[in-house]
């Protein structure tokens, strides 16, 4: 059993408000480890995952600047489960390793790791001490992502279809931030959770 620092996993569907909520915890001084940011860094020009990806998929998925060509990669893995698994087999252990290093180096009474597909991931579910879900209705997710990313409704719906359902996430949650309303309703919820996590981390120490 893990005896390291108290670790809260923060998740939620696309557009639910994970980044918004993570920023509010960060404002309390809580260290945030963001798995998406780590994945981006690993696949940026000179990123540690680039050689293995080049080896597995060829030059066609490497952009001119040496970064992963995300559009080309998406085309390959779309509808090809074996290719997707091959990419994940390269990336997931590297992401896990980098995140563990960052968690180890983080200072503070507890740490938050942001994992968009946490409920879908056996590894992260086992790793975190507490699972925090940012929740809002699916229609709200769709509206936010259409606005933020300039996506068509069908694009957002297709992404949502690949993620755990709202019900599955809520069933797995220890704590829930209700982000179905306006942004002002978030601060009191985050403040209360921060106090709770300080308490839980204190009991553990």
Q: Which residues make up the interface to ligand ADP (CB under 6 A)?
A: 12, 14-20, 144, 148, 179, 182-183
Per-residue H/E/C for 63-98:
CCCCCECHHHHHHHHCCCHHHHHHHHHHHHHHHHHH
**How far apart are alpha carbons 52 and 78 in whole angstroms?**
20
By beta-carbon proximity to ligand ADP, the closer residue of 87 and 134 is 134
By beta-carbon proximity to ligand ADP, the closer residue of 37 and 200 is 37
By beta-carbon proximity to ligand ADP, the closer residue of 148 and 204 is 148
The partner residues of 113 in beta bridges, in order of sequence, read 9, 33
Indicate the DSSP class of residue 108.
S
The tokens of 173 are what?
Answer: 């949650």
Question: Quick check: 95 and 38 in contact, CB under 8 A?
Answer: yes
By beta-carbon proximity to ligand ADP, the closer residue of 20 and 155 is 20
By beta-carbon proximity to ligand ADP, the closer residue of 17 and 109 is 17
**How far apart are alpha carbons 118 and 129 in whole angstroms?**
13
Q: How far is the CB of 86 from ligand ADP (least distance, A)?
A: 26
Q: How far is the CB of 1 from ligand ADP (least distance, A)?
A: 30
Q: How far is the CB of 148 from ligand ADP (least distance, A)?
A: 4
The tokens of 84 are what?
Answer: 């997707």
Q: How far is the CB of 179 from ligand ADP (least distance, A)?
A: 5
Angle at 42 between CA 26 and CA 55, to 5 degrees: 165
Q: How far is the CB of 33 from ligand ADP (least distance, A)?
A: 14
Q: How far is the CB of 89 from ligand ADP (least distance, A)?
A: 25
By beta-carbon proximity to ligand ADP, the closer residue of 130 and 169 is 169
With 0-12 / 13-18 / 19 or more C-beta atoms within 10 angstroms meaning exposed / middle / buried, residue 76 is: middle
């Amino acid at each position: 059993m893990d005896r390291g620092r108290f670790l809260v996993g923060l998740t939620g569907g696309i557009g639910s408000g994970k980044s918004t909520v993570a920023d509010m915890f960060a404002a309390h001084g809580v260290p945030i480890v963001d798995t998406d940011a780590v994945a981006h860094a690993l696949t940026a020009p000179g990123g540690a995952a680039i050689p293995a990806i080049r080896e597995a998929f060829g030059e066609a998925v490497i952009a001119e600047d040496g970064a992963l060509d995300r559009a080309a990669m998406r085309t390959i893995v779309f509808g090809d489960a074996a290719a997707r698994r091959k990419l994940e087999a390269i990336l997931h252990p590297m992401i896990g390793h980098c995140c563990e290093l960052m968690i180890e180096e983080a200072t503070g009474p507890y740490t938050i790791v942001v994992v968009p597909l946490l409920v879908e991931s056996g590894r992260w579910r086992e790793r975190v001490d507490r699972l925090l879900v940012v929740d809002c209705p699916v229609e709200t997710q769709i509206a936010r992502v259409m606005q933020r990313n300039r996506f068509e409704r069908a694009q957002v719906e297709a992404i949502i279809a690949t993620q755990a359902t709202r019900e599955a996430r809520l069933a797995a949650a220890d704590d829930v931030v209700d982000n179905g309303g306006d942004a002002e309703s978030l601060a009191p919820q985050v403040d209360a959770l921060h106090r709770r996590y300080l308490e839980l981390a204190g009991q553990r120490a």
